[in-house]
Amino acid sequence: MSLTNPSQLLLRNIELLIADRPLFINLPEDGFIDTYLEQYSTSNISCFNTNFIDYQAIEHKHARTPKKRIQTTFASTYRTEISHDLVVIAFPKSKAELNFTLAMIAHCINETTKILLVGEKKGGIQSAPKLTKDLFANCQKIDAARHCLLFAGHFNAETLAKDFDLQKWFKKYQITVDGIELTIASLPGVFSQQKLDVGTALLLNNLTREMTGKVLDFGCGAGVISCFIGKKYPDTSLSLLDVSALAITSAQESLALNELSGRVFASNSLSEVNEKYNHVVSNPPFHQGVKTNYQASEDFLAGINKQLKPQGDITIVANSFLRYQPIMLQHIGKTQVITKEQGFTIYQAQLSSR
């Protein structure tokens, strides 16, 4: 993988990145880490990722690198006994997620720790000084290149709170669909964090009339779909997957709030799926970061036939402009349009016996 534009901007300023115990937050595996290790041969890196794909890529690439030199973590929150002297943060799509991330690392830094924020201009990084004004003593623009910006700052000493209460960061809201009342909990950065989105609402109102057996919720987000199915169809066994650790933790919380249980796990599309299901239900994602990416959803639709039981079915909601029906018809079986409303289409396919 070639260096991303933000990584190229960081390497333009490699002299600013000297540190004994740097922490890299949500940086991809694009060659930047290799270059950093070569440049600073005595540094011991910690990599924290909330995206399972990035985490797996770093783990695989550096499997033979001594654990002392690079430690990797996939989780919704970062906890450590290490005191970091440098933190590099890939600017998130959600501005609320930036505040969450900064609060999360307060326990492992001090007022001398250099904090670098890097990201693409179209991702909103221009707002970094405004977003950090209550936390940073300063936040200065260091460089701009390749449609990206690099900011540097230090925490105010008085803002370095050592306690981080995850519960305070959940946005909780109530929804009622088909007479079923649910409480949903969602962390910053998770899709549809504060209310039920139109596509998912349409999907829930157009599910099959009966569901029993194993159900897979692909791209579960905060767990809305599974919570609804668990309440409406009590004879189901729920499995929920997502690429985001923030989504996984949110879905676990939502299940608990609604007195439901299910297996919630991380997966790169279907990479970690090892069961077969009677039903698959999804509002498949097509965004990764600030970019539009249809490949993961298309791979999911092309490969899900291997994870369906005989006569198993799949129901999805998608923006009507997305050409998912031909993929489903080719790889799964007869695919029908259940409804089209408000720019969304509900597709349902049953596994062909061929």
Specify the CATH architecture of the domain 5-166.
3-Layer(aba) Sandwich (3.40)
pLDDT tens column, 2-56: 899 999 999 999 999 999 999 999 999 999 999 999 999 999 999 999 999 999 9
Q: What are phi and psi of 92, to 5 degrees?
A: -80, 160
> Residue 187 has what pLDDT?
97
Model confidence pTM above 0.75:
yes
Contact 271, 300 (CB under 8 A): no
> Residue 260 has what pLDDT?
98
For residue 209, the 8-state DSSP code is S
pLDDT tens column, 171-222: 999 999 999 999 999 999 998 777 899 999 999 999 988 999 999 999 999 9
pLDDT tens column, 289-316: 444 557 888 899 999 999 999 999 999 9
- Alpha carbons 76 and 161: distance in angstroms, whole number: 19
> Residue 162 has what pLDDT?
63
> Residue 296 has what pLDDT?
80
Instruction: Provide the pLDDT confidence category of residue 337 given band limits of 50, 70 and 90.
Output: very high
Comparing 354 with 346, the larger pLDDT belongs to 346
- Alpha carbons 68 and 43: distance in angstroms, whole number: 9
Joined together, the tokens standing for residue 281 give 């239900």
- The candidate with the shortest Cα–Cα distance to 87, out of 125, 119, 114, is 114
Range list for CATH 3.40.50.150 in the chain: 5-166, 170-350
Task: Say if residue 276's pLDDT is above 70.
Answer: yes
Phi-psi region of 31 (alpha: psi -120 to 50; beta: other; left: phi over 0): left
Q: Which CATH number fits domain 170-350: 3.40.50.150, 3.40.50.2020, 1.10.3210.10, 3.20.20.70?
A: 3.40.50.150
- The candidate with the shortest Cα–Cα distance to 224, out of 269, 171, 175, 263, is 175
- Alpha carbons 58 and 55: distance in angstroms, whole number: 5
> Residue 160 has what pLDDT?
74
Cα 129 to Cα 107, 121, 134, distances in angstroms: 22, 14, 10
Task: Say if residue 142's pLDDT is above 90.
Answer: yes
- Alpha carbons 139 and 64: distance in angstroms, whole number: 37
Cα 83 to Cα 21, 45, 168, 214, distances in angstroms: 7, 12, 24, 45
Beta strand pairing status for 308-319 and 344-350? antiparallel
